[in-house]
Structure 1
Amino acid sequence: MKLQLFIASLVCTAGIHASQNHGTQALSQTQEGIKYIKMLGGTLKSQLKAQLQADPSGLSAIGFCTAQAQLITNEVNTQLPDYAKVRRTSLRTRNSINKPDTKDIEIMKEIEDSIQNKRATAMMVRKVNTKEATRYYKPLIAETACLKCHGENISPEIQAVIHESYPDENASHYTLGAFRGVIVSEIKKR
């Protein structure tokens, strides 16, 4: 009986040790990149949903995005390792801070074409190696909630906030299911 208890405790201890080691295992670079995309995307989406539930008109949501979206992006980046960053960009930006670079434009055009031609979905993540870093691109697709501020029929109140806050605004007139941009996670080569 004592031998059975000893063996059982040994097996349990080994199982606990194995699960602890598994939990501390380093993420692959791809997993790490996707994790950072989810951090930013999940935070922004949950905050935006809360704004839209509190005020279905979308006026509160545009105020939130104007005042908080970039601050949240910056806050998420402070939580990442020094060699990583995450950001949003689009072929049609509203905030000049989110302007794409040449590589972003190239990749977004490819993603947009793939989505339009049904060769890719919003769930895909595109990995791109550059000289300085590896980038992971996650498409953003226009959902019903997005169209309150990014669609074709934006209310005059929301339109006024957009024009006041973003004089060079170019991120409207999207339709449901259209490619709207990407969240990019960038991991510097080490």
Structure 2
Amino acid sequence: MKSPQKGSSKTIENASQVIRLPQHVQEMEAWIKQSEKTAKEAESDQKSHIALLYCAKKANPLATAVLLAQQEGKEVHRVDLSMLVSKYPGETEKNIQRLFERAEREGWILFFEEADAIFGKRTNVRDAHDRYANIEVSYLKQKIEAYEGLIILSTNRKSNIDDAFLRRIQSVIRFPAT
């Protein structure tokens, strides 16, 4: 990972490596600390912090998420969409609901890989299957926005993310190739 500009990074030690965290990662860390403090004090419209880590194919945004979680005493939960999606009507939504309920109980940082595949630009609805898939993605987006925690999305194709969803993301961080 390239070092950010002088004075705009924080170093952390992980085993034998010293890693410089970009300013945006520090902002996510600060959000975690602030959200825990203000959650008890007042209700806020913005409950989640959504971060998009986009990078070359050889970069490892999951490692950054894990390091951030370790710094904050949290756990990263890597979301496996194949375990959420069901061929039976209504089951995908139930699985998504269960995931977010457990994530809030456990205080997880949720990590979604290949975000462009999930939150890609909208296509025309050709049949009932497309319409139902759009409903499932819309439900997932609602749950993400309502989640009281940090959500990290990763992709190597930022340009494929839906523009409307991209506007809801608070931190967009580019990772250089390693």
TM-score for both structures, normalised by structure 2: 0.28
Question: Which protein is richer in helix relative to its size?
Answer: 1
TM-score for both structures, normalised by structure 1: 0.27
- Structure showing greater relative contact order (alpha-carbon pairs closer than 8 Å, 6 or more residues apart): 2
Question: Which protein is richer in strand relative to its size?
Answer: 2
